[in-house]
Amino acid sequence: MSLPELYLSRPGVAFPATRVDNAEIIRRVREQYRGAEEDWPSIESGIEHVFGLCKTKERYLESDPRARIADQAVAAAKHCLEQNGASLDEVDLIINGSIARQYFEPATAMEISAKLGLKRCHAFDVTAACVSHLEALQVAVAYLALRKDYRTALVVTSELTGRFLSYDIQSVKDLYTKSAGLTIGNAAACFLLRSKPWPRGSLRLRGIDTYTAPGHWELCQVPIDGTFVSASVELMRLGKLIPPWLTNKLSALGWAPTDVAHYVFHQPSEIMVRKVLEDIGVDPARGVYTHSLYGNTASASVGVTLNKLLEDHTPNPGDKFVLGSAAAGYSMVFVAGEWVPAQ
């Protein structure tokens, strides 16, 4: 089935006020350390090694335990509407594609919609780990193809880690499951989707698809009553699934990997993004790298990274883009589009 004619807006983003560097993260781990003093240097060295591999430097973390996931989403949505000269009156569908949530019901999208001031709106959540935002975008594409009376979808994600991040590391062995959490940052991102171009430039969608390998579901988890844990080494090894699948998706569009001007990927680490591009035969300079600025912002990272690209660079008309993410589960989402300049 071919895609309907749909245009993805420039993203809107929002971050907490508190910017945290690596030294502060190590300080938090040290504060909770209860082991032998002679063992601490090995733990500190292990954390620094992880930061070096990932190119982690800074990230934003919400310091207020009362902060609302929906409030950060609303800030990103308002930024997105402003960025694209759009009115809230145009929005018929709101989908929240986040990992983070503060309650089981109702959908967080309901709180977001109410705080935006919408009286009536189709609103619901999509949760699929770090691909949640792009998976929600795929759902929005399907709804706009199905419901011709829907004009505009607002697709938002908001990632606040809250109590789910653990700094309780008592041994080098603990780093095996907890070090990935030390690279995480908080952010929100939002896209608008409709059947006509956006005035400040947009991506005309050319392809969108999902791949899942659910047999690996145990590798990375955030239990309801626990903290984030990840078998990072095994999870990163699954990156070998990305290049052949990505190449296949591009081929189906009649695109070669080198035809794509900009690869905007989820940012678990800079080295992983570079390796994927090298493995498909593309100059890593065509990737966009924001992990050192924001850390791993989970499902918000594609929107955050595209926003950074568009702040720093004006695409050429017709430039090909690939947005992509991989996530615990294991799953991948691919979005392809061509840049339509400002109208």
Domain that holds residue 252: 202-340
- Nearest in space to 91 (alpha carbons), one of 143, 14, 133, 131: 143
Question: What integer is the mean pLDDT of 81-93?
Answer: 96
In a domain, 325, yes or no: yes
Mean pLDDT over all residues of the chain?
A: 95
Q: What percent of the chain has pLDDT over 70?
A: 100
In a domain, 336, yes or no: yes
**Would you call 89 exposed, middle or buried from its count of C-beta atoms within 10 A (0-12, 13-18, 19+)?**
exposed
In a domain, 234, yes or no: yes
- Predicted confidence (pLDDT) at residue 320 exceeds the cutoff of 90: yes
Overall number of domains in the chain? 1
Six-digit token string for 318: 């017709």
Give tens-digit pLDDT for 37-50: 999 999 999 999 99
**Side-chain half-sphere of 65: how many Cα atoms within 13 Å?**
3
> pLDDT class for 219, splitting at 50, 70, 90?
confident
Give tens-digit pLDDT for 184-214: 999 999 999 999 999 999 999 999 999 999 9
- Predicted confidence (pLDDT) at residue 234 exceeds the cutoff of 90: no
**Alpha helices in the chain, H assignment, sequence order:** 22-32, 40-54, 69-83, 108-116, 132-146, 175-178, 232-237, 242-252, 270-279, 291-294, 301-312
- Predicted confidence (pLDDT) at residue 232 exceeds the cutoff of 80: no
- Predicted confidence (pLDDT) at residue 103 exceeds the cutoff of 70: yes
Give tens-digit pLDDT for 235-276: 778 889 999 999 999 999 999 999 999 999 999 999 999 999
Say which amino acid occupies 211. Answer: Y
**pLDDT at residue number 229:** 86
- Predicted confidence (pLDDT) at residue 1 exceeds the cutoff of 80: no
In a domain, 25, yes or no: no
**pLDDT at residue number 226:** 86
- Predicted confidence (pLDDT) at residue 18 exceeds the cutoff of 60: yes
- Nearest in space to 164 (alpha carbons), one of 234, 220, 232, 229: 229
Question: What integer is the mean pLDDT of 132-142?
Answer: 97
**Side-chain half-sphere of 291: how many Cα atoms within 13 Å?**
25
**pLDDT at residue number 236:** 79
Give tens-digit pLDDT for 106-124: 999 999 999 999 988 999 9
More confident site: 223 or 206: 206
For 173, residues 6+ apart whose C-beta sits below 8 A from its C-beta are none
Q: Please, what is the end-to-end C-alpha distance for the chain in angstroms?
A: 29
Q: How far apart (Å, rounded) are the C-alpha atoms in residues 76 and 160?
A: 13
In a domain, 176, yes or no: no
In a domain, 297, yes or no: yes
Question: What integer is the mean pLDDT of 2-15?
Answer: 95
Question: What integer is the mean pLDDT of 293-308?
Answer: 98
Q: How far apart (Å, rounded) are the C-alpha atoms in residues 52 and 43?
A: 14
> pLDDT class for 309, splitting at 50, 70, 90?
very high
CATH code of the domain containing 207: 3.40.47.10
**pLDDT at residue number 40:** 97
In a domain, 215, yes or no: yes
**pLDDT at residue number 225:** 84
Residue position matching structure tokens 């956006």: 198
**pLDDT at residue number 223:** 86
In a domain, 334, yes or no: yes
**pLDDT at residue number 275:** 95
> pLDDT class for 228, splitting at 50, 70, 90?
confident
